Amino acid sequence: MMRRLQGIVIASILVIAAFSSGEEFLFYLLYLGILVLGGSYVAVRLGLTDLEAGYAVSQLSGHVGDQMRITYTLRNGSRIPKPWLEVHNPTTLPGSLPGRAISLGGRSERSWLVRAPLTRRGHFRIEPLHIRTGDPFGFFEASATVGQGVSVIVYPKLEPLPGWRLPAASLEGSHSAAERTLQTTPLVSTVRPYAPGDSMNRIHWRMTARHGDIQVKEFELEQTADAWLILDLQRSIQVGRGEESTTEVAIQAAASIAHKAIGENRAVGATVNASRIAHLPADRGGRQHLKIMQLLAAVDADGSAPLLETLVATVGRPKRGMTAVIITASLDPGWVRALAALRARGVGCVVVTLDPSAFEPPPDGPEAEAAAKRVRALRHALAEYELPYHVVTPGRPLGEILAG
């Protein structure tokens, strides 16, 4: 705008000087200026005509750590070249999307690929493609938006948990046992030689080819196959920043445990203490997996209710024989006693605690001693009620912690 205003002022002075003095040189400059301005205006007006543009997104959802691929295509349908085009996508994705300045010859086409890493969970938006062109002198410009915006959901990162198995509730017959059964389950324990009466669909063909005789699969019957996640996102107990905060590590742990349990064909329910206490009924399968991931992608550490209140509101939801997994950074030992109500209903309990002092060490002195005292009090209360627990610290793989 400033350059255009300067051009208008200079042109006005040139016109007045040319007609008042009658100098041929001034008229030459005047005609040259008219030619430049007129040519620039026409070039900009034709800069976006007969231009086709678009972009394609490889996926509309993914987990933290994945890469989203975006393919851009611009096609010039006219014989007039497009010497300067600026292309970019406004977006709320962290890190944004890189734009590009290109030129197109007559009846030509350009395509390129952009890889955008997904670094933070949440709901994001990619706006329509924005194309801009102008003249070399900066007097005029034209722009256009192409296509429609799309929404992208980034789920929490999933960590492998190869050595962890969900503890069973303290019920008779609730443990896993490998035995011959007429039904097949997703839990394969071992293989054995074929016996009369075994079904053909239980034959393990790779082991049969390796051993030279027919081998069949042994399955585990597990009566306790359901889990209930209780995720504590109370605002006042969270420490740390970014991906190394207790909030993100707790959500990542909940997502990984749910992924592991649903992969084992367990029914999984969830209670999340966020801005409000949200309950997700227990179910199994891919649809439930998607519901849990969508819930964990959207929540934030803005809860006001303490974990004790969350446990009281959740007591009646897990069914007898399920196992409740409590994920929290709370150091208040008062909520441990509330787990006795769950155990009295035949619900097993396992606690995943996050040590706040490991995420954000308190300053030396009385505060550090008080924090260490609270940690010892919590672990003593868990041991007193014989509750299994795992302490999560930053920088250590979750699978290694839970397996230990």
- Which pLDDT tens digit goes with each residue over 312-352? 989 888 988 889 999 999 999 999 988 888 888 888 899 99
Model confidence, pTM: 0.78
Average pLDDT over every residue of 79-86: 90
CA distance 243 to 121: 10
Q: Model confidence at 177, in pLDDT bands (50, 70, 90)?
A: very low
Q: Which of 9-23, 196-210, 219-233 has the lowest mean pLDDT?
A: 9-23
Q: Model confidence at 187, in pLDDT bands (50, 70, 90)?
A: low
What pLDDT, on a 0 to 100 scale, did the predictor assign at position 2?
62
What pLDDT, on a 0 to 100 scale, did the predictor assign at position 170?
52
CA distance 196 to 175: 28
CA distance 269 to 321: 13
Of 365, 179, 352, the C-alpha closest to 255 is 352
List, by residue range, all CATH 3.40.50.410 domains of the chain: 226-403
The architecture of the domain spanning 51-155 is Sandwich (2.60)
- For the cut 90, the answer to whether the pLDDT of residue 17 exceeds it is no
Residue-wise DSSP of 348-365: EEEEEEE-HHHHSPPPTT
Q: Is 250 helix (H, G, I), strand (E, B) or coil?
A: helix
- CB count within 10 Å of CB 41 equals 13
What pLDDT, on a 0 to 100 scale, did the predictor assign at position 108?
93
What pLDDT, on a 0 to 100 scale, did the predictor assign at position 280?
94
Q: Tokens standing for 370?
A: 């008080």
- For the cut 90, the answer to whether the pLDDT of residue 254 exceeds it is yes
What pLDDT, on a 0 to 100 scale, did the predictor assign at position 95?
84
Cα angle vertex 227, ends 324, 303, to 5°?
A: 55
CATH code reported for the domain at 226-403: 3.40.50.410
Q: In what order do the strands lie in the sheet containing 267-273?
A: 277-283, 267-273, 226-232, 323-328, 348-354, 389-392
Residue 36 DSSP symbol: H
Average pLDDT over every residue of 172-183: 46
CA distance 381 to 388: 11
- HSE (CB half, 13 Å, CA atoms) of 218? 11
